[in-house]
Amino acid sequence: MQDSDPGAAGDRDEDLAGAAAARKVADLVDAGDTCFFCTHSMSAELHARPMTVTEVEEDSGRLWFFTDVDSFKNIELDRDPRVTLFFKESDYGGHLKLDGTTTEVTDRETIHRLWNPKLRAWFDGEDDPRISLLRFDPSGGEYWDNRHGAAITGIKMLFGALAGRRVDEGVHGQLNL
């Protein structure tokens, strides 16, 4: 498997800031809304768990997650609110890493606004007192994207592998939010 280092042959750099960075975050998260949500454990190592984004704010890149108010994750975040998120849309593009901080939100109005019936798998309805939200405020990150979508990029990679030619499809950039 080829390493996707920034600046590697075939990668086109496209750094984004402000509103453009927030739109890129929204586009990539909408395409694959589940991530590895990484907190800093008590021993300062990354502790990863899969989580699904409930909402993306397109103007800021801010993300919202539902969680259990007394989860171990919330205990770690009380100690250190820094978080790193890793998203992957497909094998052919749509990779995103975000760094930022979280804030726990227990405002019932916001919980009701963001509630989705699928969450009944974890909670006893939207009035469950165990529910809290995590608001993730990104500070920066990196993305790797393709130019033509996952299906076309996958076909180009297949033909490139058969022909022994490197495929120039990647776009990499830094995000400054």
What's the pTM value of the predicted model, to 2 decimals?
Answer: 0.81
Least Cα distance to 83 among 33, 137, 30 occurs for: 137
- Structural domain includes residue 33: yes
pLDDT class for 6, splitting at 50, 70, 90? very low
- Structural domain includes residue 119: yes
Q: By residue range, what is the domain housing residue 121?
A: 12-176
Residue 91's domain is classified under what CATH number? 2.30.110.10
Evaluate whether 48 touches 76 at the Cβ level (below 8 Å). no
- Structural domain includes residue 5: no
Q: Most distant CA pair in the chain: distance in Å?
A: 59
- Structural domain includes residue 68: yes
The CA distance from 116 to 54, in Å, is: 8
Residues near 32 by beta carbon (within 8 Å), at least 6 away in sequence? 87, 88, 89, 90, 94
- pLDDT per residue over 125-151, tens digit each? 999 999 999 999 999 999 988 755 554
> pLDDT higher for 166 or 141?
141
Residues near 148 by beta carbon (within 8 Å), at least 6 away in sequence? 156, 169
- Structural domain includes residue 45: yes
pLDDT class for 166, splitting at 50, 70, 90? low
- Structural domain includes residue 4: no
- Look at the chain and report how many structural domains it folds into: 1
- pLDDT per residue over 41-70, tens digit each? 888 789 999 999 999 999 999 999 999 999
CB burial string 5-18: b at 16+ within 10 A, e below = eeeeeebeeeebee
- Structural domain includes residue 67: yes
Kindly calculate the radius of gyration of the chain based on its CA atoms and give it in whole angstroms.
18
pLDDT exceeds cutoff 60 at 11? no
- Structural domain includes residue 3: no
Evaluate whether 97 touches 85 at the Cβ level (below 8 Å). yes
